[in-house]
């Protein structure tokens, strides 16, 4: 019985980790790691690094922009509200 319980716990942990990866973006901004909730369950852009990318390039990713990476960058002090608004308008027109 204890073997069965261990196996059940292991599979439960694997399932929880899988669900976490499906439902969150893990964003690397410099030496900081931030979590961003995904709008739908997918493995696309699960791990995303902003290193070497301009903020325009980061915000050009529709999925991340829709999930709120702009607000995250404003909270971290990387962008101002006005810069975010300008960049979002630029990509909304496309």
Structure confidence by residue, pLDDT tens digits, 45-68: 999 999 999 999 999 999 999 999
b/e 25-40 (16+ beta carbons within 10 angstroms → b): bebebeeeebebebee
Q: Give the 3-state secondary structure of residue 31.
A: coil
Domain total in the chain: 1
List the domain range (segments joined by +) for residue 12.
2-92
What average pLDDT is seen over the chain?
Answer: 93
What integer pLDDT is reported at residue 20 of this predicted model? Answer: 98
What integer pLDDT is reported at residue 94 of this predicted model? Answer: 60
DSSP secondary-structure letter at 84? H
pTM exceeds 0.85 for this model:
no
DSSP secondary-structure letter at 55? H
> Could you give the residue ranges of the DSSP H alpha helices within 1-94?
2-23, 55-59, 62-67, 69-75, 81-92
DSSP secondary-structure letter at 1? -
Residue ranges in the chain modelled with pLDDT below 70: 94
């Amino acid at each position: 019985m204890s073997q069965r319980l261990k196996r059940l716990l292991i599979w439960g942990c694997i399932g929880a980790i899988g669900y976490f990866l499906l439902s969150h973006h893990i964003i690397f901004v410099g030496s900081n790691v931030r979590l961003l909730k995904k709008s739908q369950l997918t493995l696309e852009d699960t791990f995303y690094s902003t290193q070497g990318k301009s903020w325009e390039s980061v915000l050009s990713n529709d999925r991340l922009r829709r999930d709120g990476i702009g607000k995250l960058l404003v909270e971290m002090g990387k962008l101002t509200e006005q810069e975010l608004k300008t960049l979002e308008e630029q990509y909304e027109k496309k």
